[in-house]
Amino acid sequence: LPVPTEKSNLEHCLEKELKGRMDGDKTVDECGLDKQPVKQEKRFTTLPEHLFIQMRRFDKNDQKVATPIEISESFEIDGKKFSKDSKSKAYQVKGFIYHHGEEASSGHYTAYVKMGSTWYHCDDHSIQSVSNEVAEKALKTCYMLFAE
């Protein structure tokens, strides 16, 4: 998903990625008349049971976009906005990947995993339990999240 430069939330990022937009590069010929711009729209057919979301945390110059995104540990995706079958779905974040560093070409990736009610920070050969506050802060600038 795109990461805006201003503070935002997960639903806003989904809207930016999936909303319909006019695409002047793609046109359709309606009955031999002038070509008309096509409205491009992306939607889920049905919302998935397991959801993986990659945030676009690096710009075209491979610099990190560290804008915080409000992501709750539990969230719902509105089926009326994002799914063809219009069925909403509630999700729980089960884990996420965090990038330490300022550029795509350097840095270090670690994972946060929730088991039961405890968050764990996984870093190469080390796994340590962390507070909910530490995990929630890292979640706001995560690179990829997994929810079900």
Instruction: Write out the chain's pLDDT in tens, 148 residues.
Output: 778 777 788 888 888 877 755 555 555 455 555 666 666 677 788 889 999 999 989 888 888 888 899 999 999 998 888 888 888 999 999 999 999 988 888 889 999 999 999 999 999 999 999 999 999 999 999 999 999 9
pLDDT value, residue 49: 93
Longest dimension (CA), the chain: 65
> Which string of b and e fits 79-102 if b means at least 16 CB within 10 Å?
beebbeeeeebebebbbbbbbeee
Q: Given CA atoms 109, 6, 68, 83 in this order, what sign does their dihedral have?
A: negative
Apex CA 129: angle with CA 125 and CA 131, to 5°? 140
Structure tokens at 129: 């339990």
